[in-house]
Amino acid sequence: MKSYMCVICGWVYEEAEGLPDEGIKPGTRWEDIPKDFTCPECGATKDDFEMVEI
């Protein structure tokens, strides 16, 4: 499982945890998240995220 960080605000999406409050189940890969996903903290688009090692 990988982690992706918003380059605008630093919020991190972790594939292992998902985002259950947004309907994204734990284990959901970044590639499987809808293209219209936005950062829950700042509203940045999916293109504003980069893979990071945590």
Residues marked as binding? 6, 9, 39, 42
Q: Name every residue whose Cβ is closer than 8 Å to that of residue 28 and which is 6 or more positions away in sequence.
A: 15, 18, 19
Contact 40, 12 (CB under 8 A): no
Residue numbers in the known binding site for Fe cation are 6, 9, 39, 42
